[in-house]
């Protein structure tokens, strides 16, 4: 990056990092979405911000971004990483549990808003093809802003939160088809917009290379991704570092994006396909952790680029038109989303809140309209005005959420949606098994036999591969990291069972899990009595020492085989277990509450 005013080639990067390190924490402290902080930074640091005064105060050149083109190039990576993360989250279980709202309410909202907005733009003098692209782009809402705003107010699990999430999920699903449609519309636009069969056939033929490239990307991904990550995981197990996993994750995102570009598709679409492919593997959650820091920072670059592109001259020249267009777009979407929500059975209060937070435009408006500009479909001047209006509408999302909360006053857990929409999403209400060797596998089999769902995590790639081959719900990852436990649903888990045979690692997982959930049922495997004492000091609910339990089982079998009456043997075994338990609990720190009556030390043998 070549700076101006003696700023140096890395000056723009330093300015961006300074904005991320100063403005975003400031917005967080004010309880405002950090995405809006990036947008504000882009406006302030762009050519229409402080740079306007650089001629009279040259030192301001050090505080501005001189090369907006470089920032926009980097912002493409931010969108690619966002779509990659969306692909990772699109599991079949999630779509199945919310299928009615996702494919019903969500797709209805996109279709209705697209048609109505396209009709509006045609009334404003745009061609059918241009109006269609504008309508599709603006029918989408901002996942990056809306979901954090709802999470901060604790409304994700409410009726409106689930409806909002369903619509955003549907919008994420249609991004790829919309980008492909833009390619078809571009071919139609080049032929004068004539919709005769020959022209349409020629337009569709332009997608053949892209379809072939997409098919090859899927096939190659299925063949290569899992073996590659298994190799990386084995190297990591030998102590070669987390950085190899990060490098492999970055390679997948960038490689898939560049392959898609080579096939005539967008980098974002390639990243989405890569995410979908990895979502079906055991490495899904570990990849999420590896990518998250890069996704957040690069998505910040994207929004800084959006802020830089906000032409304040357009606003100053005709503020009534710009703000009027922003209000009209938002108002139309609010009305359409409210109607669609009511049509699909969402109650009135939840429908109002859902419509208000989803009314403003979203980040994909810039991606889709940008693609339309590149393809020569949309009018640059008019599209620039629309993008300014869309940017202004995004800034209103926190205010819309606050207004919705005041208007509806929906309780924190109002079951206003159909039952299917309130089903767990992800790994909720499951038992987490940490370690899936022989012990963990047996625990999982017993849980399944008694109708208890579980999710297992293991840091050995071969063990995970064997478990998944047997149909077990097991993933690769390090459960000693708080982020991994959170991805596995520790906040809603019913219990955690730690089955590893490495005492230090067991301690680490117990300490992390107890720090995240003080009320969690936490059962851990102990090496011996001393290890069991230490685990109780760390806060486990139950500890099962291998040596003690094996000795008691051996004694029980020996006494029974020698002819001692079963009742006397079981009574003495239970008495001895109680004595051990009392010793372990006495070792707990002063003031700590003793755990519930331990069941892990009871004999499961019945004769």
* CB neighbour class for 379 (10 Å; exposed up to 12, middle 13-18, buried from 19): middle
What six digits make up the tokens of 284? 């899904």
What six digits make up the tokens of 100? 């009615």
CA 71 from chain centre, in angstroms, equals 24
What six digits make up the tokens of 133? 């692209």
> Pick from 486, 527, 492, 521: which is nearest to 506 by CA?
527
What six digits make up the tokens of 537? 């000091």
pLDDT tops 60 at residue 8: no
Q: How confident is the model at residue 332 (pLDDT cuts 50, 70, 90)?
A: very high
Per residue, the 3-state secondary structure of 497-552, as one string, reads: EECCCCHHHHHHHHHHHHHHCCCCEEEEEECCHHHHHHHHHHCCCEEEEHHHHHHH
> Pick from 385, 388, 396, 322: which is nearest to 358 by CA?
396
Instruction: Render pLDDT for 420-466 as a digit per residue (tens, 0 to 9).
Output: 333 333 445 689 999 998 888 988 888 888 888 899 999 888 888 88
Q: How confident is the model at residue 605 (pLDDT cuts 50, 70, 90)?
A: very low
Q: How confident is the model at residue 588 (pLDDT cuts 50, 70, 90)?
A: low
Instruction: Render pLDDT for 233-273 as a digit per residue (tens, 0 to 9).
Output: 877 766 556 677 788 888 888 888 888 877 767 677 788 78
Instruction: Render pLDDT for 482-532 as a digit per residue (tens, 0 to 9).
Output: 888 888 888 888 899 999 888 889 999 999 999 889 888 898 988 888 888
CA 172 from chain centre, in angstroms, equals 11
State the pLDDT at residue 193: 52
- Tokens 């399944």 locate to 448
Cα–Cα dist 415/93, whole Å? 21
pLDDT tops 50 at residue 7: no
Contact 241/282 with Cβ under 8 angstroms? no
Instruction: Render pLDDT for 83-137 as a digit per residue (tens, 0 to 9).
Output: 787 778 766 566 666 778 888 888 999 999 999 999 999 998 888 888 888 999 9
State the pLDDT at residue 424: 36
Cα–Cα dist 489/475, whole Å? 13
325-354: average pLDDT: 91
pLDDT tops 80 at residue 543: yes
DSSP label of 154: T
pLDDT tops 60 at residue 475: yes
DSSP label of 454: E
State the pLDDT at residue 356: 92
State the pLDDT at residue 602: 40
Helix boundaries (H) for 191-318: 197-205, 208-237, 243-262, 267-279, 284-308, 312-317
Which one is predicted more confidently, 12 or 228? 228
Cα–Cα dist 287/285, whole Å? 5
The CA dihedral of 558, 563, 566, 569, to the nearest 10 degrees, is: -50
Contact 600/577 with Cβ under 8 angstroms? no
pLDDT tops 80 at residue 587: no
Beta bridge partners of 442: none
Dihedral (CA of 322, 326, 331, 336) sign? positive
CA 267 from chain centre, in angstroms, equals 19
pLDDT tops 50 at residue 198: yes
State the pLDDT at residue 157: 66
Q: How confident is the model at residue 139 (pLDDT cuts 50, 70, 90)?
A: very high
Instruction: Render pLDDT for 266-305 as a digit per residue (tens, 0 to 9).
Output: 677 788 788 888 887 888 888 888 877 776 677 777 777 7
State the pLDDT at residue 239: 59
> Pick from 305, 304, 299, 295: which is nearest to 275 by CA?
295
Q: How confident is the model at residue 541 (pLDDT cuts 50, 70, 90)?
A: confident
pLDDT tops 70 at residue 359: yes
Instruction: Render pLDDT for 370-405 as a digit per residue (tens, 0 to 9).
Output: 777 766 677 777 888 888 899 889 888 888 888 887
| pTM, to two decimals | 0.66
What is the average pLDDT score of the chain?
78
């Amino acid at each position: 990056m070549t700076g101006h005013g003696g700023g140096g080639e890395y000056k723009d990067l330093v300015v961006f990092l300074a904005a991320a390190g100063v403005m975003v924490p400031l917005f967080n402290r004010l309880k405002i979405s950090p995405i809006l902080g990036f947008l504000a930074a882009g406006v302030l640091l762009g050519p229409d911000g402080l740079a306007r005064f650089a001629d009279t105060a040259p030192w301001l050149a050090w505080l501005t971004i001189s090369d907006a083109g470089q920032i926009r190039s980097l912002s493409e990576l931010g969108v690619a990483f966002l779509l990659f993360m969306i692909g990772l989250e699109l599991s079949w279980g999630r779509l199945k549990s919310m299928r009615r709202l996702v494919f019903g309410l969500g797709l209805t909202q996109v279709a209705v808003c697209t048609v109505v907005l396209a009709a509006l733009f045609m009334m404003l003098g745009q061609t059918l093809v241009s109006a269609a692209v504008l309508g599709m782009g603006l029918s989408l809402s901002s996942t990056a802003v809306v979901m954090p705003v709802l999470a901060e107010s604790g409304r994700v699990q409410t009726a409106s939160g689930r409806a909002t999430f369903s619509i955003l999920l549907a919008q994420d699903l249609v991004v790829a088809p919309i980008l492909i449609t833009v390619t078809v519309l571009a071919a139609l636009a080049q032929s004068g917009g004539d919709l005769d069969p020959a022209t349409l056939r020629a337009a569709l033929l332009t997608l053949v290379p892209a379809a072939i490239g997409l098919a090859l990307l899927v096939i190659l991904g299925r063949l290569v991704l899992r073996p590659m990550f298994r190799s990386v995981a084995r190297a990591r197990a030998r102590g070669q570092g987390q950085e190899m996993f990060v490098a492999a994750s970055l390679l997948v995102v960038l490689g898939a994006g560049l392959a898609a570009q080579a096939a005539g598709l967008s980098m974002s679409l390639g990243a989405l396909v890569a995410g979908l492919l990895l979502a079906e593997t055991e490495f899904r959650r570990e990849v999420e952790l590896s990518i998250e820091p890069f996704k957040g920072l690069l998505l910040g670059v994207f929004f800084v680029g959006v802020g830089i592109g906000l032409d304040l001259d357009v606003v100053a020249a005709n503020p009534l038109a710009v703000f009027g267009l922003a209000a009209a777009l938002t108002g139309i979407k609010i009305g359409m989303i409210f109607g669609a929500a009511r049509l699909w059975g969402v109650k009135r209060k939840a429908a109002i809140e859902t419509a208000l937070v989803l009314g403003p435009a979203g980040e994909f408006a810039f991606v889709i309209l940008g693609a339309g500009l590149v393809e020569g479909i949309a009018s640059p001047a008019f599209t620039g005005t629309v993008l300014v209006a869309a940017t202004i509408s995004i800034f209103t999302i926190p205010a819309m959420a606050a207004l919705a909360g005041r208007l509806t006053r929906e309780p924190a857990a109002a079951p206003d949606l159909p039952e299917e929409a309130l089903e767990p999403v992800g790994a909720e209400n499951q038992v987490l098994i940490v370690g899936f060797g022989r012990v963990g596998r047996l625990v999982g089999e017993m849980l399944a036999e008694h109708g208890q769902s579980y999710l297992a995590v293991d840091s050995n790639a071969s063990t995970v591969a064997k478990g998944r081959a047997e149909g077990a719900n097991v993933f690769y990852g390090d459960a000693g990291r708080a982020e991994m436990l959170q991805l596995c649903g520790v906040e809603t888990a019913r219990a955690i069972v730690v089955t590893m045979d490495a005492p230090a690692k067991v301690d680490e997982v117990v300490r992390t899990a107890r720090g995240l959930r003080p009320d969690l049922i936490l059962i851990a495997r102990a090496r011996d009595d001393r290890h069991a004492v230490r685990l109780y000091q760390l806060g486990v609910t139950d500890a099962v020492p291998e040596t003690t339990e094996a000795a008691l089982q051996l004694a029980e079998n020996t006494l029974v085989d020698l002819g001692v009456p079963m009742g006397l043997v079981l009574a003495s075994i239970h008495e001895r277990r109680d004595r051990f338990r009392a010793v372990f609990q006495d070792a707990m720190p002063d003031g700590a509450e003793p755990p519930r009556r331990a069941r892990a030390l009871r004999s499961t043998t019945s004769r």
